Structure 1
């Protein structure tokens, strides 16, 4: 179940709620009991190692011709690789 972050406009506190996607736009009450809240936009953190080939078909990981493809860190553009 997704976690959504909210900010209370009255007490300026932030809080999170776990709720189904079907209820993502439903109003949320602050833990202090205030109804004037706004849903915050959040980012998604992905974990893992790109060099391990995780998420790629066998043989299609970073070591299989994708490194040096340009752009991004270690793609040659930043000078770190």
Structure 2
């Protein structure tokens, strides 16, 4: 289930709410009970290094190892 991050405009607290994507636009109350909150834009970063070896073709994994039947 997706996790959405909010900030309370009343107390400044930042908190997270787990809810289905179909309810992503629903308002969220802060843990202190305040109603004036704003949903924050969260960025997901996936990093790597240049020295990491490249995956070998046909050497495993779902799309190369034959696990998809």
Above 0.5 in TM-score?
yes
| 1:58 alignment partner in structure 2 | 57
Which segments of structure 1 move beyond 2 Å, counting only runs of 4 or more? 45-54
Structure 1: tracts of 5 or more residues without a match: 60-81
Greater fraction helix = 1
Deviations 1:14-51 (A, max 9, x none): 00011111111100000000010000001013266674
Normalised to the residue count of structure 2, the TM-score between the two structures is 0.68
Normalised to the residue count of structure 1, the TM-score between the two structures is 0.59
Q: What is the root-mean-square deviation of aligned Cα atoms in Å?
A: 2.3
Greater RCO (Cα-Cα under 8 Å, separation 6 or more): 2
